[in-house]
Structure 1
Amino acid sequence: MRISILGAGCIGGSIVFKLNGKHQLKVFDNDEETRKVLLERGLNVVFNQRDLYDTDLLILALPMREEERFLNETDFEGKILDVASVKSPFMEIAKKRRLRFVGGHPMAGNERKGKEGWDPEMFEGKIFFLCSLDGLKDEEVETVVKDLGAKPVWIDHNMHDEIVAAVSHVQYLISLTAKYIGKNHERFAGPGYRSNTRLSKQNMEMALDMIRYNKRNVLKYLEGARNFLSSLYTLVKNEEFEYLERTIREVTS
């Protein structure tokens, strides 16, 4: 299959290296240094975004604000797969503009930015969410996802955004909270603290986009986290340790 990848950051670059040799690839990135590294590694790099358009599938691996602009302005008529961690806003644009669009999101990644985060094995065994505009599954897209080593899971885009708010987007803010609490004492911290604060180190621009585009769901689960912490505070303050133990068991069982 002829596949073009627009954007070679952490996710896009990892896709490029995983699919290289399995499909006919073309890749473009706005960053000159990134293009240079891709060329040095033998990738088929184009120097104009429109050179990607003669393809069977265009994979958008752009920051969300750039993706929004692209979907609103593009005259590309072929099939598009994106990888953004929020789906509903982009599905709505694609539907309005009658684009041939499949919303995608690999539940994979790392805290590094750009080419420093390239890892062709990051998708291995991971769920890759897919959202359809017409309710039908796209076998070509499924094949590409499987070639990444991932597991395609078709899902409603609204349900997707609620799920990732709970297990990803709000988790970044919780990790940030852990970092805030322990920052002045990090020199004494053990592996537990490092584990809790790992997500706080991820690409800040990407994290802000996740929150901006999934605001309603993020607020819902952030409020739940606030209420839960408030209940824990009350139990500890009142020395209701029996109830605290019960709460811990209920949550962790």
Structure 2
Amino acid sequence: MDLGLKNKVAFIAASSDGLGKAVAIELAKEGATIIINGRNKAKLENTRNDIEQTYNTKVLAVSGDLAKEDEREIILKTIFNHHDKVDILITNTGGPPSGKFEDLSMEDWDNTYKLLLASTVALIKAILPGMKQQQWGRIIAITSQAVKQPVDNLILSNSVRASVAGLIKTLASELGEHSITVNNVMPGYTKTNRLLSLIESNPSFKSAIDEIPLKRFGNPEEFAAAVTFLASERASYITGTSLAVDGGWIKHIL
């Protein structure tokens, strides 16, 4: 199946590792022009080299922390110095700290807002004009299964990621007339360093596998395939949706 992604410019946030890296690789397989980002320069360079050597393509790697306004501005300036526009925007960040309500400070809440919501809003604001000008675009937010069904001990993620889902749903209505689709993808328990750290800090996460109908944790490549389809021409009539890639963990009917 030709997904129509050849030469489309795709910016994947937080893509030096984990789910973001898997999405960048999958889009590269389909012939997209890739822009990756991460805070760890060494990991970012390794990811760029892996993609360039494996898929014989050039990758723009832009280091920086998207939660910090000054660094975010530099990241965006660098992107637009190399590309006139971005066709596909994948918003993504690392997860906030785990903990219960009374364990967390107001600083934790402020940092989570900057990490999850402010970074998403700022990226969309910067990249949207180019999409509207060409009357085509894909905006995909990577959030969490916690958007639909809260996860114990993750109150920061449960709360603020839900606001990202509200943003995405609203933008789908506002941008549809410009042939821009806006969707949210909710990863479940997936084999990433983030999951390993959660299990290490809270052993109860190990038992989560018993709650998954498929009885296993997901692979990043499985998640990336879903995101890549939503980014494609073939998904042109899908917008405003929240797609769970969670092995059936969410128990809601809708």
- Shorter-chain TM-score: what band? 0.3 to 0.5
Higher helix proportion (structure 1 or 2)? 1
